[in-house]
Amino acid sequence: ETGVTQSPTHLIKTRGQQVTLRCSSQSGHNTVSWYQQALGQGPQFIFQYYREEENGRGNFPPRFSGLQFPNYSSELNVNALELDDSALYLCASSLGLGQSTEAFFGQGTRLTVV
């Protein structure tokens, strides 16, 4: 177990709806990254939060937004859901931003948009 927990584990939403996914980082970790993993593909970087501020963003539209709280837990919000948003959403926490800093992943939230 990595100590990173995500909720919910599974979720079904209708196209056009909004969704909030949650991530509780490992104790002491101040950095959280979010990834989208489509079936059969590698994870794609969405964005990263370091000490409550966004610190880098991948090629995702503005309807993907996030938040990091003072306890370093994080939320990923997706508005106006599209069918292609169906994927496994992964959260990873780490201590700091160093190049060789190890990231610990949660088990993911499986989002299905119908």
Partner 1 sequence: GESVGLHLPTLSVQEGDNSIINCAYSNSASDYFIWYKQESGKGPQFIIDIRSNMDKRQGQRVTVLLNKTVKHLSLQIAATQPGDSAVYFCAEKDSNYQLIWGAGTKLIIKP
Which listed range, 13-21, 40-48, 68-76, 79-87, lies at the site for partner 1 (CB under 8 A)?
40-48
| Contact between 73 and partner 1 per CB under 8 A | no
Cβ-based nearer residue to partner 1, 8 or 16: 8
Binding residue for partner 1, selected from 4, 21, 87, 113, defined by CB under 8 A: 4
User: E strand or H helix at 44, and its extent?
Assistant: strand 44-50
CB of 5 to partner 1, least distance (A): 10
Strands laid side by side in the 19-24 sheet: 5-7, 19-24, 74-78, 64-68
The residue type at 26: Q
The neighbouring-strand residues paired with 72 are: none
